[in-house]
Amino acid sequence: MTPHQERTGPGAVPAQAAFLPAPEGTKKAVTDFLKTLMDQGGLDALLVPVEVPDTPFHAWVMVKKSEVLDKAHPLPPVMSVQGGRALSSLTKHGTPWLHIAAVMRPCEARAAVELAKLKQVRLDNVVLITIDCPGALPLAEYVADPEKGQERYKTVADTWHENEFLRPACARCHRFSLTGLEDGPSEGPAPDDAPASVDIHIGLLGEDQNGILLLPVTPSGAEILKKTGLEADRPTAGWESRVRDLLKKKKEKRQAAHEEFRKDITGLDRFLTVFDPCINCHNCMNVCPVCYCQQCYFDTQTQFCTSSVYMDRARKRGALRFPPDPLLFHLGRMSHMVLSCVSCGACEDACPVSIPVGKVFSWVADETQPAFGYSAGTDRGDPLPLQNFLKEEFCEIETPSACGQAQSTEVKENA
Amino acid sequence: MSDAYNPRIVGFLCNWCAYTGADLAGVSRARVSSSLHAIRVMCSGRIDPLYVIMAYLKGADGVMGMGCHPGDCHYLKGNYNARRRFVMLESIFKTLGLDGKRIGLWWVSASEGKRFAQVTNEFTELMKTKGPNPFREEMFI
């Protein structure tokens, strides 16, 4: 590829982590850890999914009370509201004056990092905590039969991504653990200055299944862990190799799924059939964490022409579909957000007619983000591809090429 | 007039370079293909990728983006941004199996009237050989 910004390479995996025994299961241990964080970690509140009483659902709640934390868990059976969106609604209009921690799935944390770059989230006073995620269930199925869903979800945590009940986005997810691990060096310690997207990571895949690992990823994360009195003395190598093994398998699975999908979708006719059932509800856009515009072009009247224009167009084409341009909505949205797509699958969950929106978008994202050496949400210090450029790059796209004419200097925009 | 297919090409021309270049081409009586439908934008960085996709889906045979040579942007860095947008567009087109050769980015300065005529005519010839955009006849998009 053409010269682009050299990636500093995230993937700072701390060599040692704190260990919390889990005699009553990992769920209880995670809850205990959250309580310890609140009591001794110097935090004022936690933003975490909490069980809504008498319903099978979780909601994002900012919690201070310890008894509410009993019902909190960062891995609810379904992802009803994307955590990045929840954090955005909390911090969009100013840095929180409380020192809070947001405990989320890795895809949600990646969305939060992307939103921070888009000035929709402020991470100044927020500690991001992620957890090894076994995946979630399809929202529609869970809503139809929550009891069955809860039964199914119990099996999900045991099988780690080999579960038939997982939603498609999770079944082919290869970024379910510490963000950056999938792109980082496979061996050897990461450089000290390697930027990370999260502060603390909760490892469930450790060698010792009778406990959870608490990885201090950033210095501020390490400081908080220190305050809680948990000694970081367990080596993380076993956890890392287990995660990497699973990552490798999942990556292959993902690539195979994309290849298969490529055959299904490429070409004009087939491409159209994928989006044909679209009912123009814009749910995919409304739930997408990185679709943040206050006023979307596709929600305005600007996109509609006068009827004479449509008559004219229909006459020339022979026929015209109404309301016009459903495909333009999807491709237009894609051109606006695909470089920030974190493959969370929220769009797919929200689609009432089961269009594999997430599949298309995450596939295009996987093909497009690497062109800029970018991986959405992985690295807080990596500027958005469209807010950054080199004077000499991508020579093949322009005529005449500007490469080789001037000394290459990097110019970064202070957005 | 020959019977050859006459394509329709939408061009987004930067006000400061390509649009003035097009004007110069006219003043100096260069032959410019009539296929080009020029839309003036204030900067090539103003070309929202949505515009390109919209033109393509609505049946334009080709979409040209034209801006100042790198380093000459009136707004200092708009054309660098445009270049990255076109890289993204090309990648999206390629992935989805659409014809990425139907879109392109050219640098044409205000003094390059001849060059403006030349690249426009070349692109028109290329689109002639490609034939109509398949989306032109598609009614379900």
CB nearest to A406's CB, from B54, B71, B84: B71
CB within 8 Å of chain B, chain A residues 253-282: 262, 265-268, 271-272, 276
As a whole number, mean pLDDT of residues A339-360 equals: 93
Mean predicted confidence (pLDDT) in A202-227: 88
Is A397 within 8 Å of chain B by CB? yes
Inter-chain CB pairs, A–B, below 8 Å:
128
pLDDT digits (tens, 9 = 90+) for A51-88: 999 899 999 999 988 888 988 989 999 999 999 999 99
Contact between B50 and A336 using a beta-carbon 8 Å cutoff: yes
Which tokens in the block code for residue A355?
Answer: 């269009």
Per-residue confidence (pLDDT) for residue A264, from 0 to 100 = 79
- Give the residue, A149 or A413, on which the prediction is more confident: A149
Put residue A375 in one of left, alpha, beta given phi > 0 → left and psi -120 to 50 → alpha: beta
For residue A20, give the 3-state DSSP assignment: strand
Q: Which two tokens stand for residue B96?
A: 């989805």
Task: Give me the amino acid identity at A33.
Answer: F
pLDDT at A1 over 50: no
Residues 331-350 of A with CB under 8 A from B: 331-332, 334-336, 338-339
Is A272 in contact with B138 (Cβ distance < 8 A)? yes
Contacts of B139 in chain A (CB under 8 A): 317-321
Contact state of A399 with B105 under an 8 Å Cβ cutoff = yes
Q: Which of B81, B91, B134 sits opposite A371 (nearest CB)?
A: B91
Q: Which residue of B has its CA nearest to A403?
A: B70
Q: Please give the helix or strand (H or E) that residue B37 lies within, else none.
A: strand B36-41
What pLDDT shows up at residue A11? Answer: 46
Name the one residue in this structure whose structure tokens are 């579909």: A321
- pTM summary value: 0.90
- Show which of residues 69-88 on chain B sit within 8 Å of chain A, judged by CB atoms: 69-71, 77, 80-81, 83-88
Q: Is the pLDDT of residue A232 over 50?
A: yes
Rounded to 5 degrees, φ, ψ at A65 are: -75, 135
Q: What is the pLDDT of residues B41-88, one digit of tens each?
A: 999 999 999 999 999 998 899 999 999 999 999 999 999 999 999 999
Q: What is chain A's percent helix, strand, coil content, to nearest 5?
A: 40, 15, 45
In this prediction, residue A189 has a pLDDT band, given cuts at 50, 70 and 90, of very low
List, as one string, the DSSP characters of A99-115: -EEEEE-HHHHHHHHHH
pLDDT at position A405, please?
59
- Residues A14 and A190: their CA atoms lie apart, in Å, by 8
Inter-chain CB proximity A313 and B58 less than 8 Å: yes
Give the pLDDT score at A415: 38
Q: Count of CB atoms within 10 A of residue A298's CB?
A: 20
Instruction: For B26-44, write each residue's pLDDT tens digit.
Output: 999 999 999 999 999 999 9
- Torsion of Cα atoms, A224 then A225 then A231 then A235, to 10°: -130
- Cβ distance B83 to A297 less than 8 Å, yes or no, reads no
Residues of B in contact with A321 (CB under 8 A): 139-141
Q: What percent of chain A has pLDDT over 90?
A: 46
The CA-CA-CA angle for residues A369, A375, A377, to 5°, reads 130
Confidence (pLDDT) at A414: 43
The pLDDT tens digits of the residues spanning A286-297 come to: 999 999 998 999
pLDDT of residue A122: 92
Q: What is the mean pLDDT of the segment spanning B86-114?
A: 93
